[in-house]
A and B are shown apart, each in its own frame.
Chain A
Amino acid sequence: NAGVTQTPKFRVLKTGQSMTLLCAQDMNHEYMYWYRQDPGMGLRLIHYSVGEGTTAKGEVPDGYNVSRLKKQNFLLGLESAAPSQTSVYFCASKDRGLDDTQYFGPGTRLTVL
Chain B
Amino acid sequence: AQSVTQLGSHVSVSEGALVLLRCNYSSSVPPYLFWYVQYPNQGLQLLLKYTSAATLVKGINGFEAEFKKSETSFHLTKPSAHMSDAAEYFCAVSPAGTALIFGKGTTLSVSS
Residues of A within 8 A of B (CB): 4, 31, 33, 35, 40-45, 48, 50, 58, 90, 92, 97-107
Contacts and interface: CB of A to CB of B under 8 A. Distances in A.
Interface string B21-52: 00000000000101010000011111001010
A33 B99 contact: yes
A42 B101 CA distance: 9
B90 interface: yes
A4 B45 CA distance: 12
Interface residues of B, number: 23
A58 B99 CA distance: 8
Question: Which 6 pairs between the two chains have the least Cβ-Cβ distance?
Answer: A98-B97, A99-B51, A104-B43, A42-B102, A42-B104, A104-B44
A48 B99 contact: yes
B56 interface: no
Nearest to B52: A99
25 contacts: A31-B98, A40-B104, A40-B105, A42-B90, A42-B102, A42-B105, A43-B44, A43-B90, A43-B102, A44-B102, A45-B99, A48-B98, A48-B99, A50-B98, A92-B44, A97-B97, A98-B32, A98-B94, A98-B96, A99-B51, A100-B97, A101-B49, A104-B43, A106-B42, A107-B42
